[in-house]
Chain A
Amino acid sequence: MSASNTPNGGAGRDVAVYVCLLILAAIQFVISYQNISASSMFARMFIVAIIEGALALLFFMHLWENRGLRWFVLIFSIATTLGMQYGWTDSYRQLLGVPWAH
């Protein structure tokens, strides 16, 4: 929203968020070196990715400043994430004949 609006934070905030994103991305790479099962590795990475995504949405895409849209996007994102989880887990049925199994 152009110059007519209040400026969205400052350039300093952008850099801070950028550094946070770099650190989070690095954490993902570190997780990939951990000696854990694929599913718990997935869970950890996915949580980090969600945090990264939330930071990008709120500060890079300026959702922080738009309350109405923030709620809409939040609900949509939660629905999408949950929907994805269901889609994935049904593949356990194919693998083991039992849904939700590990």
Chain B
Amino acid sequence: MHDMSAHAVHHGAPTSFIRKHIFSLDHKVIGKQYYALALVAVIVGMVLSWLMRLHLGFANFAIPGLHLLSKNGAPGDIMTPEYYLQLMTMHGTIMVFFVLTTAPFAAFGNFFLPIQTGAEDMPFPHFNMMSFWVTFTGFVILMASFFVSDGPTLGGWTQYAPLSAVGAVSGPGQGTGVVLWAFSIAFFCVGQLFGSLNFITTTLDMRCKGMSLMRLPLSAWAWFITSIMGLTAFAVLMPAVILLILDHIAGTSFFVASNLVINDSLLPHSGGSTLLWQHLFWFFGHPEVYIAIIPGMGIVSHILITNMRRPMLSHRVLIYSMGALAVLSYMVYGHHMFVSGMNPISSLAFSFPTLIITIPSTIVVLIWLGSLYGSKLRINSASLFALGFISMFISGGISGFFLAQPSIDILLHATYFVVGHFHLVMAVAAIFGIFGGTYFWFPKMTGRMMNESLGQLHFWLTFVGAYCIFMPFHYLGIAGNVRRYQAFVDDYLIPLIPVHKFITVAALATGAVQLIFIYNLIYSRFWGAPAPDNPWQGTSLEWSTATPPPHNNFGDKMPVVYHDPYQYSVEGASSDFIMQTSPEPVHSADEEK
């Protein structure tokens, strides 16, 4: 019966341009499409953050041409307070959904998961194609909200009710803007469902001969675990945004309480609950941050092992820890609601798993550090970004210990401390994972090498820049600077303005540094040195096939796997690495059966 599933994916190489590059069924093309989407999204998101930082650092700074984007939002090129919030909302939504979820998970996962499991393609190529195009439609809908009359929504990426649910009366973008936002997210959820179905069935049912689950590389495991989370988390966000849409267009009031007066008008709604949105949203929202970070963990482990030339201290414990993170991430969502009036028992009930979840995180970090200790790490752009990932993950993770405790969180909640925490631990770390993955796999994806010196320059400038931006956030938060303020006029905030100026300069500079990466990406794509099949002497299946891989991944022979994914520096072996497909015997007690 399983050869039936293998035959299900046979589809001939396409010939027309449209079938080959646009409506492609090939998981590799779909992976690249996701990568391109994430690249466009991250550029938009980064420009938005520049605009916000300019406004914050230099009050009433006129940004030339901004009025072209929104006449009402930036009269005379100066951002209105509402427009600042609108840009901030879009920055968050674009980055969380269309960059951090799309790039490490959907882009790299689509390209490499079937290759690493030894499959010709995913079991449902049409679903896979739809997954991308549905996600793309979601992105277009989100972008469209920039151009509707009163602009995009200003409710923040979390879209807390009642602000998000009462309609245009609560501010610019709260009518059409929210509806477009909600539709965009609904489309994104559908795309994730299709993607996750394919990822999980690929891992479970599409492994080549000899590839047991424990022989899958850590990156494949990370994508597998992430896709299980994506399957269930987005399925809960889906009804939440549908109810939000109903509140807007069908006149229901799921998320709006009775007798609410906004802008001097009594709303006709009655009886809904604002807390309900927080429950539904955060039940998705907390798994979402692990959806963003776990693929990065897998990619970084994969890169480090290849460059250390030895496996991690424990393959299994790393996998179990990632699995534990996934399970626990559903049980901690209430820690986002510590200040919503929870009673102390509920706070405790959510605080406890939040502190527990640091244990698997710490185990993962200790395995990385312990494996790195004493290894002769090859320094290249990919391994540097992998180290950078670990650094960011630790720095951002430590502030998580503070925030996990309700008594401290009540003080720090909704300050820049939280902003600094999640930017380091989730955003920058995941972005470093994406960079690392790009430098590592670019040769396999395109057939050309990236420029190594530019890559290392990019790393050092980004690494220093990211710390310059986000470390001061913690200081601001402890000083009491509440997030989402668009200007600092209170007595206690005025002394902090120089810090904001410094952050703005650092953000602009670090953003500009990314031009090096984009130049490197484009230049290497067309004029880079041709890449060999196995440029990093890796062992997993993506390095067994041609560069770039043929349409059915492995040509006319299917691979057969004999070993664990990471047979480096094996004693008595003919070279310092043994490919998974190499029949050479390995006499090792550790080898999985």
Contacts and interface: CB of A to CB of B under 8 A. Distances in A.
Interface of A: 1-2, 4, 76, 79, 83, 87, 90-91, 93-94, 98-100
A94 B342 CA distance: 10
Contact of A2 (B1, B345, B346): B1
Contacts of A83: 283, 330
List of 5 A-B pairs having minimum Cβ-Cβ separation, nearest first: A99-B343, A87-B279, A94-B273, A99-B346, A94-B275
A80 B330 CA distance: 10
B12 interface: no
A93 B279 contact: no
Contacts of A90: 275, 279, 346
A87 B275 CA distance: 10
A1 B343 CA distance: 49
B275 A79 contact: no
B341 interface: yes
Interface string B256-283: 0000000000000000010110011001
Contacts of A99: 342-343, 345-346
12 contacts: A1-B1, A2-B1, A4-B1, A83-B283, A87-B279, A91-B273, A91-B276, A93-B275, A93-B341, A93-B343, A94-B273, A99-B346
A98 B341 CA distance: 10
A76 B327 CA distance: 10
Interface of B is mostly: helix
A93 B232 CA distance: 27
Contacts of B280: 87
Interface in B335-361: 341-343, 345-346
Interface residues of B, number: 14
Given A87-B280, A99-B346, 16 more contacts: A1-B1, A2-B1, A4-B1, A79-B330, A87-B279, A90-B275, A90-B279, A90-B346, A91-B273, A91-B276, A94-B273, A94-B275, A99-B342, A99-B343, A99-B345, A100-B345
Contacts of B232: 76
Contacts of B1: 1-2, 4
B406 to A, nearest CB: 14
Contacts of A2: 1
A94 B273 CA distance: 8
B286 to A, nearest CB: 12
A87 B280 CA distance: 8
A88 B64 CA distance: 51
B275 A98 contact: no
A99 B341 CA distance: 10
Contacts of A94: 273, 275
Contacts of A100: 345
A9 B283 CA distance: 39
A94 B279 CA distance: 13
A83 B286 CA distance: 14
A2 B343 CA distance: 53
A99 B1 CA distance: 52
Contacts of B343: 93, 98-99
A6 to B, nearest CB: 14
Most buried by A among B232, B342, B346: B346
A12 B340 CA distance: 54
A50 B346 CA distance: 26
A101 to B, nearest CB: 10
Contacts of A91: 273, 275-276
B522 to A, nearest CB: 45
A95 to B, nearest CB: 10
Nearest to A91: B273
A83 B280 CA distance: 11
Nearest to B327: A79
Contacts of B273: 91, 94
Interface in B109-153: none
Nearest to A76: B232
Most buried by B among A79, A90, A98: A90
A71 B343 CA distance: 34
Contacts of A93: 275, 341-343
A54 B330 CA distance: 23
Interface in B457-507: none
A5 to B, nearest CB: 9
Nearest to A101: B343
Most buried by A among B280, B343, B345: B343
A100 to B, nearest CB: 8
A29 to B, nearest CB: 27
Contacts of B342: 93, 99
A82 to B, nearest CB: 10
Nearest to A2: B1
A69 to B, nearest CB: 10
A76 B235 CA distance: 14
A1 B279 CA distance: 39
A73 to B, nearest CB: 13
